[in-house]
């Protein structure tokens, strides 16, 4: 089904004190516009979904691999493509706005089983 949506009309979810998100999805792809406060940490996790992260403002430090052996820092304008099942962790440096896209859609984000995000530091 064809959908026209404006981010201003998408409800915002306050996931934690330091994380807010807006989600739009179709049948096979999902996009989320998120704001994080400085210091928010996404714990090491992996998922079947391929992920594309686009940093709009601020910086994100990523660790990749089960032993966090690869470190990449992203800044405003940077985009990274994260393959499915690759363990990753992230730290927000400064206040961050970013847009993530996944395929397939993140069912855990839609059904509320994304508890790993709700235990922020």
Nearest to 86 by CA among 106, 67, 66, 104: 66
Domain edges within the chain: 26-116
Strands (E), 5-116: 13-16, 19-25, 30-36, 41-45, 50-64, 70-75, 79-82, 88-103
Q: Give Cα 109 distance to the centre of its chain.
A: 10
CATH 3.40.50.300, applies to 26-116: no
Comparing 3 with 54, which gets the higher pLDDT? 54
| SS3 assignment, position 44 | strand
Q: Is the predicted pLDDT of residue 119 greater than 90, yes or no?
A: no
pLDDT of residue 121: 47
Rounded average pLDDT over 107-119: 87
**DSSP secondary-structure letter at 3?**
-
Q: Rounded mean pLDDT of 114-121?
A: 75
Strand partners, 96: 36
How does DSSP classify residue 117?
A: G
Instruction: Kindly tell me if the per-residue pLDDT of 111 is higher than 60.
Output: yes
Q: pTM of the entire structure? A: 0.92
């Amino acid at each position: 089904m064809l959908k026209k949506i404006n981010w201003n009309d998408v409800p915002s979810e306050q996931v934690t004190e330091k994380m807010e998100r807006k989600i739009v999805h179709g049948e096979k792809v999902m996009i989320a516009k998120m704001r994080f406060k400085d210091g928010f940490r996404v714990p090491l996790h992996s998922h079947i979904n391929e992920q594309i992260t686009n940093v709009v403002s601020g910086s994100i430090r990523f660790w990749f691999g089960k032993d966090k052996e690869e470190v990449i820092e992203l800044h405003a304008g940077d985009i990274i493509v994260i393959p499915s099942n690759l363990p990753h962790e992230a730290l927000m440096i400064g206040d961050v706005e970013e847009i993530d896209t996944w395929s397939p859609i993140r069912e855990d984000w839609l059904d509320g089983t994304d508890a790993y995000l709700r235990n922020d530091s």
